Amino acid sequence: MLLIGGVILLRITIMNSKFQIENLGIGRLLIIGVFQSLAMIPGVSRALVTILGGQLVGLSQIEAVEMSFLLAVPTMAAATGLDLIKSGMSFSSAEWMILGVGFGGAFISAVIVIKWLINFVKEHDLKVFGWYRIILAMVWGAFTFFR
């Protein structure tokens, strides 16, 4: 899936923006949601498929990246909530503190990376990430084949 995702990123052309995120109708939002569900396939990047889905419904590359990050918030919150419920929320106070520090660190680093990526996409396209995925797939394949 790394290789396929990389090829898709290289093939995506920057489409003309027909819509802005706040003007998307329920149908277009559902299409992006269906694309996001493809991330359940092992090796499929949730960000990649939501960006692709956003561009296919008429968002610019920048708006599609922003939409991808907006969709990550409820997705990650739901996954974390489910894990907490499954664990019975039976943590010691030290474990709650570790969870809080981890959440805070992840939140701060995510904000920094999101701002960097949005600024990067304003001046570049996502082809560099496509090449990264292709090279990583080839390296992984070489290690697997020659092992």
pLDDT tens sequence across 2-15: 888 888 878 776 55
Q: Which pLDDT does position 16 carry in this prediction?
A: 61
Contact 3, 134 (CB under 8 A): yes
Q: Which pLDDT does position 4 carry in this prediction?
A: 86
Q: Which residues contact 134 (CB under 8 A, 6 or more apart)?
A: 2, 3, 6, 7, 10
pLDDT tens sequence across 93-144: 998 899 899 999 998 998 899 899 889 888 888 888 889 989 999 999 999 9
Through-space distance between the first and last CA atoms of the chain, rounded to whole angstroms: 20
Q: Which pLDDT does position 112 carry in this prediction?
A: 94
pLDDT over 80 (residue 47):
yes
The residue whose two tokens read 């003309």 is 16
Provide the percentage of residues in the chain whose pLDDT is more than 70.
97
Average pLDDT in the 19-31 region?
86
Average pLDDT in the 39-68 region?
88
Q: Which pLDDT does position 44 carry in this prediction?
A: 87
Whether this model's pTM surpasses 0.85: no
Q: Which pLDDT does position 34 carry in this prediction?
A: 93
